[in-house]
C-alpha cells in the first residue's frame, strides 16, 4: 500500500458536455475511506464520477490515483472502476464470466482467475448463481454480481453512481450491507454519489455537498447534519424551516414574537434554520402557534404552523389532541437543532 491517498483531485474542472460544469475540485480520499457526494439532480455528481473514471473530458486540473497522475490516461489505465446506477452485466456471459471479465482482460493465469472468482462470489453471497445468466437474475442479485465484478478487479478507487437508487426499499438494506462488507475486506477508496442523505450518512465516512456548481461542504456526516456551513447547505440537508430575523446586542435572536437566546458571535440581520424535528409540540408553553395543516406519514405527523406572520413545519410522533387543522398548539424549539447565519451568508 502506498503512502499516497488512493484518490486525489487537484483543481479538477468537471465539464457538462461542452459547457463549464463544476468549479475546480480539490480533495483526497484514502484507502478504506468512503466518500459520498450528494447534491440535487443535475448537480454534476455523475459527471464528477465519470470524469474521475476518464469516461468524459475534463477541464483544467489533475486526477491522481495512488500518487500517479492519471489525468490523461484512458479509463482502463487508471485503477478506478465505475459502476452505473443500473447494474450492467454482460448479457452474453454468465455470472462467473462476468466476474472473471476484469481478470481475463488482464490476462491473469486461469487458476488465479478461478480462485478469485470463487472467493468474490462467495464473499458477496452469490456463489450459487455462478452458472446463471444475467437475464435470470433479480434486481438485487444483479446488483451484487456487478459489485462482485468490480471487487474482483480490486481497483484502488471504486466509483459508485447512485448504488441503491434502482432498488426497491427491501433490497436496499441488502445491497448496502453488501457494499459495506465487500469494501471492508480489501479497502478501496469508495466515492459514491447519491441524492439520498440517509444513504450517504449510512455508507460514508465523509460527505461532500455539491450545490450551485461547487463543492459547498465536505465533512463527516455528524458535522454536516448538525453544523452545515451555509444556509444553502443547511436547507439541503433538511433544515427546511427558515426564519429571517435579527440578533440584538444582547445576543437574542428576534423574529416577530419569537425571542430566542442563542450562542452567537455576531449581531445584526440573521437567518435561523431548523429541522421540523426541532419543533417540540408540548402540552403547554408560552409559544403558541395555529395549526394550518396536518400531514400524516407512517410513525410521524407533520404540522404546518403559523405564529403571527411566521410559518414553519413541525414533525412529531405523538400529536396532541389540539394538533388538528385550525387548532392551537404550544411548542418550543430545541436549541441543539438550530443553526444561525448572518443574513448576508
Partner 1 sequence: MTLGSARTPLRSLLLTGLGILAVAPLLLLLITSISRSWFWPALLPVPSADSWAALIAGTSGGRLSGAALNSLALALATGLLASALSLPLGRALAGLRGWRRSLGAGAAFLPVAAPPIALGIGLQFTFLTLGLGGSFMGVLLAHLVPALGYATLYFLGVFAVYDDRLEDEARTLGASPTQVFRRVTLPRLGRPLLEAALLGFLVSWAQVPLTILVGQGLVPTLAVEVLGLVQSGQDALAATGSLLLIIPAIFMLMAAALAIRRVEAVPV
Binding site for partner 1 (CB under 8 A): 50, 53-55, 74-76, 78, 80-84, 88, 90-92, 101-102, 104-106, 149-150, 153, 155, 159
Nearer to partner 1, 146 or 197 (CB): 146
Nearer to partner 1, 54 or 231 (CB): 54
- Joined grid coordinates for residue 334: 430545541
Q: How far is the CB of 190 from partner 1 (least distance, A)?
A: 14
Nearer to partner 1, 150 or 255 (CB): 150
Instruction: Give the Å distances, CA to CA, from 205 to 39, 87, 180.
Output: 17, 24, 11
Q: How far is the CB of 54 from partner 1 (least distance, A)?
A: 8
Q: How far is the CB of 152 from partner 1 (least distance, A)?
A: 9
For the chain, where are the alpha helices, taking DSSP H only? 45-53, 95-104, 110-123, 139-153, 169-186, 197-203, 221-226, 231-236
Q: What is the CA radius of gyration of the chain?
A: 24
Identify the H or E element spanning 84: none
Q: Is the distance from CB of 121 to CB of 97 less than 8 angstroms?
A: no
Nearer to partner 1, 74 or 250 (CB): 74
Q: How far is the CB of 148 from partner 1 (least distance, A)?
A: 12
Q: How far is the CB of 61 from partner 1 (least distance, A)?
A: 20
Nearer to partner 1, 55 or 252 (CB): 55
Nearer to partner 1, 135 or 297 (CB): 135
d(CA 59, CA 44) in angstroms, rounded, equals: 14
Q: How far is the CB of 133 from partner 1 (least distance, A)?
A: 8
- Select from 243, 252, 246, 250 the least CA-distant residue to 272: 243
- Joined grid coordinates for residue 67: 500518487
Q: How far is the CB of 53 from partner 1 (least distance, A)?
A: 5
Q: Is the distance from CB of 270 to CB of 343 less than 8 angstroms?
A: yes
Nearer to partner 1, 82 or 225 (CB): 82
Using H for helix, E for strand and C for coil, what is the string for 30-57?
Answer: CCCCEEEEEECCCCCHHHHHHHHHCCCC
User: At 59, phi and psi to the nearest 5?
Assistant: -90, -135
Amino acid at each position: 500500500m502506498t503512502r499516497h491517498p488512493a484518490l486525489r483531485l487537484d483543481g479538477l474542472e468537471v465539464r457538462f458536455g461542452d459547457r463549464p460544469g463544476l468549479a475546480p475540485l480539490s480533495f483526497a480520499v484514502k484507502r478504506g475511506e468512503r466518500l459520498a457526494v450528494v447534491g440535487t439532480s443535475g448537480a454534476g455528481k455523475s459527471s464528477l464520477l465519470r470524469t474521475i473514471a476518464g469516461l468524459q473530458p475534463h477541464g483544467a486540473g489533475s486526477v491522481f490515483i495512488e500518487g500517479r497522475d492519471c489525468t490523461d490516461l484512458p479509463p482502463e489505465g487508471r485503477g478506478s472502476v465505475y459502476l452505473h446506477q443500473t447494474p450492467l452485466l454482460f448479457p452474453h456471459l454468465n455470472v462467473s464470466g462476468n466476474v472473471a471479465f476484469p481478470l481475463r482482460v488482464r490476462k491473469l493465469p486461469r487458476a488465479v482467475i478461478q480462485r478469485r472468482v470463487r472467493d468474490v462470489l462467495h464473499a458477496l453471497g452469490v456463489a450459487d448463481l455462478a452458472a446463471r445468466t444475467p437475464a435470470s437474475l433479480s434486481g438485487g442479485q444483479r446488483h451484487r454480481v456487478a459489485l462482485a465484478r468490480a471487487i474482483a478487479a480490486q481497483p484502488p478507487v471504486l466509483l459508485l453512481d447512485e448504488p441503491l437508487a434502482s432498488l426497491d426499499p427491501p433490497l436496499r438494506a441488502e445491497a448496502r450491507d453488501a457494499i459495506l462488507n465487500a469494501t471492508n475486506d480489501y479497502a478501496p477508496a469508495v466515492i459514491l454519489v447519491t441524492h439520498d442523505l440517509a444513504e450517504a450518512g449510512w455508507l460514508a465516512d465523509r460527505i461532500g455537498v455539491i450545490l450551485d456548481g461547487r463543492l459547498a461542504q465536505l465533512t463527516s456526516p455528524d458535522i454536516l447534519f448538525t453544523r452545515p456551513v451555509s444556509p444553502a447547505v443547511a436547507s439541503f440537508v433538511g433544515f427546511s424551516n427558515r426564519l429571517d430575523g435579527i440578533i440584538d446586542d444582547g445576543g437574542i435572536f428576534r423574529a416577530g414574537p419569537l425571542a430566542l437566546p442563542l450562542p452567537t458571535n455576531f449581531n445584526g440581520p440573521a437567518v435561523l434554520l431548523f429541522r421540523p424535528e426541532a419543533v417540540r409540540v408540548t402540552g403547554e408553553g408560552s409559544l403558541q402557534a395555529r395549526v394550518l395543516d396536518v400531514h400524516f406519514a407512517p410513525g410521524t405527523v407533520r404540522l404546518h404552523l403559523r405564529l403571527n406572520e411566521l410559518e414553519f413545519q413541525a414533525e412529531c410522533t405523538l400529536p396532541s389532541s389540539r394538533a388538528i387543522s385550525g387548532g392551537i398548539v404550544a411548542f418550543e424549539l430545541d436549541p441543539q437543532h438550530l443553526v444561525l447565519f448572518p443574513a448576508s451568508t
